[in-house]
Structure 1
Amino acid sequence: MGRRKIEIQPITHERNRSVTFVKRKLGLMKKAYELGVLCSVDVAVIIFEDRPGQEPKLFQYCSTNMRNMIARHGEHDGERDTKGPSDFSGADKNEDAVGEDDDEVEDDDPPPPPPKKKAKPNKDDAHGIPRSGNQQQQHGHSEPADSQIIYCCEQQEQDDDPDIERQTLDSTNKEWG
Protein backbone atom coordinates (compact mmCIF):
# COMPACT_ATOMS: atom_id res chain seq x y z
CA MET A 1 0.00 0.00 0.00
CA GLY A 2 1.45 3.34 -1.02
CA ARG A 3 1.57 6.49 0.99
CA ARG A 4 -0.64 9.40 0.16
CA LYS A 5 0.05 13.08 0.64
CA ILE A 6 -1.25 14.61 3.81
CA GLU A 7 -2.25 18.21 4.15
CA ILE A 8 0.50 20.00 6.07
CA GLN A 9 -1.24 21.96 8.80
CA PRO A 10 -0.93 22.08 12.59
CA ILE A 11 -2.18 18.94 14.35
CA THR A 12 -4.82 19.96 16.89
CA HIS A 13 -5.05 16.77 18.95
CA GLU A 14 -2.27 16.88 21.58
CA ARG A 15 -1.52 13.14 21.67
CA ASN A 16 -1.40 12.86 17.86
CA ARG A 17 0.88 15.91 17.69
CA SER A 18 3.21 14.43 20.31
CA VAL A 19 3.44 11.05 18.55
CA THR A 20 4.00 12.73 15.18
CA PHE A 21 6.70 14.96 16.67
CA VAL A 22 8.62 12.02 18.14
CA LYS A 23 8.45 9.96 14.93
CA ARG A 24 9.27 12.80 12.55
CA LYS A 25 12.06 14.12 14.78
CA LEU A 26 13.70 10.70 14.75
CA GLY A 27 13.23 10.47 10.97
CA LEU A 28 14.75 13.92 10.47
CA MET A 29 17.77 13.03 12.60
CA LYS A 30 18.25 9.80 10.68
CA LYS A 31 18.02 11.63 7.34
CA ALA A 32 20.57 14.18 8.56
CA TYR A 33 22.95 11.38 9.54
CA GLU A 34 22.48 9.63 6.18
CA LEU A 35 23.03 12.88 4.26
CA GLY A 36 26.26 13.52 6.14
CA VAL A 37 27.61 10.02 5.59
CA LEU A 38 26.52 9.52 1.98
CA CYS A 39 27.54 12.96 0.73
CA SER A 40 30.52 13.62 3.04
CA VAL A 41 29.09 16.91 4.31
CA ASP A 42 28.74 18.47 7.75
CA VAL A 43 25.11 18.50 8.91
CA ALA A 44 23.44 20.13 11.91
CA VAL A 45 19.81 19.98 13.02
CA ILE A 46 18.51 22.11 15.90
CA ILE A 47 14.94 21.71 17.18
CA PHE A 48 13.35 23.73 19.97
CA GLU A 49 10.12 22.34 21.39
CA ASP A 50 8.05 24.91 23.30
CA ARG A 51 4.91 23.39 24.83
CA PRO A 52 2.56 25.43 26.98
CA GLY A 53 3.11 24.67 30.66
CA GLN A 54 6.41 22.82 30.10
CA GLU A 55 10.07 23.75 30.02
CA PRO A 56 11.37 24.34 26.49
CA LYS A 57 13.39 21.39 25.17
CA LEU A 58 16.34 21.45 22.82
CA PHE A 59 17.00 18.56 20.45
CA GLN A 60 20.08 18.61 18.28
CA TYR A 61 22.07 16.48 15.88
CA CYS A 62 25.43 17.41 14.46
CA SER A 63 27.84 15.35 12.41
CA THR A 64 30.73 17.26 14.01
CA ASN A 65 31.01 19.56 17.04
CA MET A 66 27.83 21.67 17.35
CA ARG A 67 29.62 24.78 18.68
CA ASN A 68 32.12 24.69 15.82
CA MET A 69 29.31 24.22 13.32
CA ILE A 70 27.37 27.22 14.69
CA ALA A 71 30.55 29.32 14.63
CA ARG A 72 31.17 28.30 10.99
CA HIS A 73 27.59 29.30 10.17
CA GLY A 74 28.04 32.75 11.70
CA GLU A 75 31.40 33.35 9.99
CA HIS A 76 30.41 32.01 6.57
CA ASP A 77 30.71 34.69 3.86
CA GLY A 78 30.18 32.44 0.83
CA GLU A 79 27.07 31.53 -1.09
CA ARG A 80 23.96 30.73 0.96
CA ASP A 81 20.93 28.72 0.00
CA THR A 82 18.34 29.60 2.63
CA LYS A 83 14.90 28.00 2.73
CA GLY A 84 11.87 29.00 4.76
CA PRO A 85 8.34 27.67 5.30
CA SER A 86 7.06 29.40 2.17
CA ASP A 87 9.46 27.31 0.06
CA PHE A 88 7.69 24.13 1.13
CA SER A 89 4.09 25.20 1.81
CA GLY A 90 3.00 24.88 -1.81
CA ALA A 91 1.17 28.23 -1.72
CA ASP A 92 3.18 29.76 -4.56
CA LYS A 93 4.68 26.52 -5.84
CA ASN A 94 4.80 26.07 -9.60
CA GLU A 95 3.46 22.61 -10.50
CA ASP A 96 5.97 22.23 -13.33
CA ALA A 97 8.96 23.42 -11.30
CA VAL A 98 12.29 22.10 -12.49
CA GLY A 99 14.19 20.10 -9.90
CA GLU A 100 11.09 19.23 -7.90
CA ASP A 101 12.00 16.20 -5.82
CA ASP A 102 8.91 14.79 -4.16
CA ASP A 103 9.24 11.24 -2.87
CA GLU A 104 5.60 11.00 -1.79
CA VAL A 105 3.15 9.09 -3.96
CA GLU A 106 0.41 11.31 -5.33
CA ASP A 107 -3.26 10.35 -5.12
CA ASP A 108 -3.75 10.49 -8.90
CA ASP A 109 -0.83 8.16 -9.65
CA PRO A 110 -1.91 4.64 -10.56
CA PRO A 111 -0.98 2.05 -7.95
CA PRO A 112 2.00 -0.15 -8.76
CA PRO A 113 1.18 -3.60 -10.12
CA PRO A 114 0.96 -6.30 -7.47
CA PRO A 115 4.05 -8.48 -7.14
CA LYS A 116 3.97 -11.72 -9.05
CA LYS A 117 3.49 -14.74 -6.85
CA LYS A 118 6.09 -17.42 -7.16
CA ALA A 119 4.73 -20.86 -7.86
CA LYS A 120 5.45 -23.31 -5.10
CA PRO A 121 7.79 -26.01 -6.29
CA ASN A 122 6.13 -29.39 -6.56
CA LYS A 123 7.70 -32.25 -4.68
CA ASP A 124 7.70 -34.27 -7.90
CA ASP A 125 9.25 -33.18 -11.18
CA ALA A 126 7.55 -33.47 -14.58
CA HIS A 127 8.39 -37.19 -14.76
CA GLY A 128 6.86 -38.04 -11.38
CA ILE A 129 10.25 -38.52 -9.78
CA PRO A 130 10.49 -37.09 -6.27
CA ARG A 131 12.84 -34.13 -6.03
CA SER A 132 15.43 -34.26 -3.32
CA GLY A 133 18.28 -31.99 -2.34
CA ASN A 134 20.70 -34.92 -2.21
CA GLN A 135 20.53 -36.06 -5.85
CA GLN A 136 24.06 -34.77 -6.20
CA GLN A 137 25.21 -37.17 -3.50
CA GLN A 138 23.19 -40.10 -4.92
CA HIS A 139 24.76 -39.91 -8.37
CA GLY A 140 28.20 -38.58 -7.45
CA HIS A 141 28.24 -35.48 -9.70
CA SER A 142 27.25 -31.86 -9.53
CA GLU A 143 25.28 -30.68 -12.54
CA PRO A 144 22.40 -28.23 -12.80
CA ALA A 145 19.07 -29.51 -11.49
CA ASP A 146 17.52 -30.17 -14.94
CA SER A 147 20.50 -32.35 -15.90
CA GLN A 148 20.14 -34.27 -12.66
CA ILE A 149 16.50 -35.03 -13.39
CA ILE A 150 17.36 -36.38 -16.84
CA TYR A 151 20.21 -38.42 -15.41
CA CYS A 152 17.82 -39.88 -12.86
CA CYS A 153 15.35 -40.81 -15.63
CA GLU A 154 18.15 -42.40 -17.65
CA GLN A 155 19.17 -44.53 -14.69
CA GLN A 156 15.59 -45.75 -14.30
CA GLU A 157 15.26 -46.55 -18.04
CA GLN A 158 18.64 -48.24 -18.12
CA ASP A 159 17.63 -50.52 -15.27
CA ASP A 160 14.44 -51.50 -17.16
CA ASP A 161 16.00 -51.97 -20.63
CA PRO A 162 19.78 -52.31 -21.03
CA ASP A 163 19.59 -51.87 -24.85
CA ILE A 164 17.95 -48.39 -24.68
CA GLU A 165 19.89 -45.55 -26.31
CA ARG A 166 20.90 -42.95 -23.76
CA GLN A 167 20.14 -39.31 -24.48
CA THR A 168 21.57 -36.56 -22.37
CA LEU A 169 21.01 -32.85 -22.14
CA ASP A 170 24.17 -30.84 -22.56
CA SER A 171 23.81 -28.26 -19.77
CA THR A 172 26.00 -25.69 -21.56
CA ASN A 173 23.97 -25.34 -24.74
CA LYS A 174 20.70 -27.07 -23.70
CA GLU A 175 20.62 -29.48 -26.64
CA TRP A 176 19.92 -33.18 -26.70
CA GLY A 177 22.91 -35.26 -27.75
Structure 2
Amino acid sequence: MGRRKIEIQPITNERNRSVTFLKRKNGLFKKAYELGVLCSVDVAVIIFEERPGQERKLHQYCSSDIRDIVQKHLHHDGESDTRGPSCFSGGGAGKMDDIGDGDDDDVDPDDEYEPPTTKKRGRGAGKNADSDVSMQYFLLIAFLTACHRAHTHPPA
Protein backbone atom coordinates (compact mmCIF):
# COMPACT_ATOMS: atom_id res chain seq x y z
CA MET A 1 0.00 0.00 0.00
CA GLY A 2 1.53 3.29 -1.09
CA ARG A 3 1.42 6.61 0.62
CA ARG A 4 -1.25 9.06 -0.39
CA LYS A 5 -0.27 12.38 -1.92
CA ILE A 6 -1.34 15.48 -0.06
CA GLU A 7 -2.23 18.74 -1.72
CA ILE A 8 0.45 21.32 -0.95
CA GLN A 9 -1.40 24.33 0.42
CA PRO A 10 -1.41 26.23 3.73
CA ILE A 11 -2.68 24.22 6.69
CA THR A 12 -5.33 26.26 8.48
CA ASN A 13 -5.67 24.16 11.65
CA GLU A 14 -3.01 25.54 14.01
CA ARG A 15 -2.33 22.27 15.83
CA ASN A 16 -1.97 20.29 12.60
CA ARG A 17 0.23 23.05 11.16
CA SER A 18 2.52 23.02 14.23
CA VAL A 19 2.85 19.23 14.24
CA THR A 20 3.46 19.15 10.48
CA PHE A 21 6.09 21.89 10.82
CA LEU A 22 7.95 19.97 13.53
CA LYS A 23 7.84 16.66 11.64
CA ARG A 24 8.91 18.19 8.34
CA LYS A 25 11.63 20.32 9.95
CA ASN A 26 13.08 17.28 11.71
CA GLY A 27 12.85 15.23 8.51
CA LEU A 28 14.54 18.00 6.52
CA PHE A 29 17.35 18.30 9.07
CA LYS A 30 17.83 14.51 9.08
CA LYS A 31 18.04 14.44 5.27
CA ALA A 32 20.49 17.37 5.32
CA TYR A 33 22.69 15.48 7.81
CA GLU A 34 22.55 12.31 5.69
CA LEU A 35 23.37 14.24 2.50
CA GLY A 36 26.38 15.84 4.16
CA VAL A 37 27.75 12.56 5.51
CA LEU A 38 27.02 10.34 2.50
CA CYS A 39 28.22 12.78 -0.16
CA SER A 40 30.94 14.65 1.78
CA VAL A 41 29.33 18.04 1.16
CA ASP A 42 28.70 21.10 3.31
CA VAL A 43 25.00 21.59 4.02
CA ALA A 44 23.11 24.48 5.63
CA VAL A 45 19.37 24.81 6.17
CA ILE A 46 17.98 28.00 7.72
CA ILE A 47 14.28 28.35 8.56
CA PHE A 48 12.52 31.36 10.04
CA GLU A 49 9.20 30.58 11.74
CA GLU A 50 6.86 33.50 12.30
CA ARG A 51 3.72 33.45 14.42
CA PRO A 52 1.48 36.47 15.04
CA GLY A 53 2.19 38.10 18.39
CA GLN A 54 5.51 36.29 18.82
CA GLU A 55 9.07 36.99 17.79
CA ARG A 56 10.41 35.31 14.69
CA LYS A 57 12.14 32.03 15.61
CA LEU A 58 15.26 30.72 13.88
CA HIS A 59 15.77 27.01 13.23
CA GLN A 60 19.01 25.93 11.57
CA TYR A 61 21.04 22.87 10.69
CA CYS A 62 24.60 23.17 9.51
CA SER A 63 27.16 20.46 8.84
CA SER A 64 29.96 22.83 9.88
CA ASP A 65 30.23 26.45 11.04
CA ILE A 66 27.30 28.40 9.59
CA ARG A 67 29.40 31.53 9.10
CA ASP A 68 31.91 29.63 6.97
CA ILE A 69 29.20 28.17 4.74
CA VAL A 70 27.46 31.55 4.34
CA GLN A 71 30.79 33.14 3.37
CA LYS A 72 31.40 30.35 0.81
CA HIS A 73 27.91 31.01 -0.57
CA LEU A 74 28.39 34.78 -0.77
CA HIS A 75 31.78 34.52 -2.48
CA HIS A 76 30.96 31.61 -4.80
CA ASP A 77 31.52 32.54 -8.45
CA GLY A 78 31.25 29.09 -10.02
CA GLU A 79 28.36 27.03 -11.28
CA SER A 80 25.25 26.89 -9.11
CA ASP A 81 21.95 25.00 -9.00
CA THR A 82 19.41 27.41 -7.50
CA ARG A 83 15.77 26.45 -7.03
CA GLY A 84 12.69 28.22 -5.72
CA PRO A 85 9.07 27.35 -4.99
CA SER A 86 8.13 27.47 -8.68
CA CYS A 87 10.43 24.50 -9.33
CA PHE A 88 8.31 22.27 -7.11
CA SER A 89 4.74 23.52 -7.56
CA GLY A 90 2.38 22.52 -10.32
CA GLY A 91 4.45 19.80 -11.96
CA GLY A 92 7.59 21.92 -12.20
CA ALA A 93 9.49 19.26 -10.27
CA GLY A 94 9.18 16.80 -13.12
CA LYS A 95 10.32 13.34 -12.14
CA MET A 96 11.91 14.48 -8.85
CA ASP A 97 8.93 13.02 -6.93
CA ASP A 98 9.78 9.54 -8.20
CA ILE A 99 13.37 9.62 -6.95
CA GLY A 100 13.88 8.14 -3.52
CA ASP A 101 16.29 6.16 -1.43
CA GLY A 102 13.93 3.21 -1.14
CA ASP A 103 14.22 3.30 2.64
CA ASP A 104 10.78 3.83 4.06
CA ASP A 105 11.61 3.03 7.69
CA ASP A 106 12.30 6.63 8.65
CA VAL A 107 9.80 9.40 9.32
CA ASP A 108 8.52 10.74 6.04
CA PRO A 109 8.42 14.54 6.19
CA ASP A 110 5.71 14.53 3.49
CA ASP A 111 3.15 12.93 5.82
CA GLU A 112 0.76 15.49 7.28
CA TYR A 113 -0.25 14.76 10.87
CA GLU A 114 -3.89 13.96 11.47
CA PRO A 115 -5.02 13.29 15.03
CA PRO A 116 -6.60 9.87 15.57
CA THR A 117 -10.37 9.92 15.45
CA THR A 118 -13.22 7.47 15.22
CA LYS A 119 -15.43 9.89 13.30
CA LYS A 120 -14.96 10.58 9.63
CA ARG A 121 -14.67 14.26 8.85
CA GLY A 122 -14.75 16.13 5.59
CA ARG A 123 -11.22 16.98 4.44
CA GLY A 124 -12.07 20.09 2.45
CA ALA A 125 -13.31 22.25 5.32
CA GLY A 126 -11.19 25.26 6.15
CA LYS A 127 -8.58 24.77 3.44
CA ASN A 128 -9.25 27.86 1.35
CA ALA A 129 -5.92 29.09 -0.02
CA ASP A 130 -7.09 32.69 0.45
CA SER A 131 -7.86 32.19 4.14
CA ASP A 132 -5.81 33.95 6.80
CA VAL A 133 -2.95 31.72 7.88
CA SER A 134 -1.76 32.62 11.37
CA MET A 135 1.67 31.00 11.12
CA GLN A 136 3.93 31.62 8.15
CA TYR A 137 7.07 29.69 7.48
CA PHE A 138 9.87 31.41 5.73
CA LEU A 139 12.70 29.51 4.26
CA LEU A 140 15.28 32.30 4.14
CA ILE A 141 18.08 30.21 2.80
CA ALA A 142 18.18 26.54 1.93
CA PHE A 143 21.32 26.06 -0.02
CA LEU A 144 23.89 23.42 -0.62
CA THR A 145 27.53 24.07 -1.31
CA ALA A 146 29.06 20.96 -2.82
CA CYS A 147 32.76 20.45 -2.27
CA HIS A 148 34.03 17.67 -4.48
CA ARG A 149 35.77 14.93 -2.58
CA ALA A 150 38.92 15.67 -4.57
CA HIS A 151 38.99 19.22 -3.16
CA THR A 152 38.15 18.36 0.44
CA HIS A 153 40.11 15.09 0.64
CA PRO A 154 43.04 15.30 -1.83
CA PRO A 155 44.69 11.99 -2.76
CA ALA A 156 47.69 11.06 -0.64
Deviations 1:77-128 (A, max 9, x none): 011111000000025x38xx4xx23248xxxxxxxxxxxxxxxxxxxxxxxx
Following TM superposition, the consecutive aligned residue runs of length 4 or more in structure 1 with deviations greater than 4 angstroms are none
Question: Alignment RMSD, CA only?
Answer: 1.9
Deviations 1:17-71 (A, max 9, x none): 0000000000000000000011111100000001111111000001010001001
Q: AA paired with 1:16?
A: N
Give, in whole Å, the separation in 2 of the partners of 1:5 and 1:14. 21
Identical aligned pairs, as a percentage?
73
Partner of 2:15: 15
Report the TM-score when normalising by structure 1: 0.53
Q: Secondary structure at the match of 1:102?
A: helix
Partner of 2:53: 53
Pair 1:101 & 2:108 matched = no
Give, in whole Å, the separation in 1 of the partners of 2:14 and 2:26. 18
Partner of 1:75: 75
Report the TM-score when normalising by structure 2: 0.60
Q: AA paired with 2:13?
A: H
Structure 1, unmatched stretches of 5+, are 105-177
Give, in whole Å, the separation in 2 of the partners of 1:89 and 1:66. 29
**How many residues are matched?**
100
Q: Which has the higher contact order (CA 8 A, sep 6+)?
A: 2
Structure 2, unmatched stretches of 5+, are 100-156
